[in-house]
Amino acid sequence: MKDRPKCKCGNTSNPNGYCDGSHLNKKSDMKKKNIFLLVSILIITMSYGQKLTLDTSKSQLKWKGKEITTKEHYGSLVFKSGYLTLKNNKPYGGKFIVDMTSLKNEDLPEDYRGRLEGHLKSDDFFSIEKFPVSILEVKGSSEQNKYSYEVIGELTIKGIKHPITFTMEKNNDKWKSDLIFDRSKYDVKFRSGSFFENLGDKLIYDDIVIETELFF
pLDDT tens-digit readout, 44-95? 545 567 999 999 999 999 999 999 987 899 999 999 999 999 999 899 999 9
Residue type, 211: E
How is 112-144 classified by DSSP, letter by letter? HHHHHHHHHHSTTTT-TTT--EEEEEEEEEEEE
- What are the domain boundaries of the chain? 12-48, 50-215
pLDDT band at 12, cuts 50/70/90?
A: low
pLDDT at 49: 79
CA separation for the pair 34, 41 (Å, rounded): 11
Superfamily designation of domain 50-215: Lipid/polyisoprenoid-binding, YceI-like (2.40.128.110)
Q: In terms of Cα–Cα distance, which of 113, 100, 83 is closest to 215?
A: 83
What are the pLDDT digits (tens) for 180-195? Answer: 999 999 999 999 999 9
Element (H, E) at 8: none
Mean of per-residue pLDDT scores for the chain: 87
Residue 10, Cα to own-chain centre: how many angstroms? Answer: 53
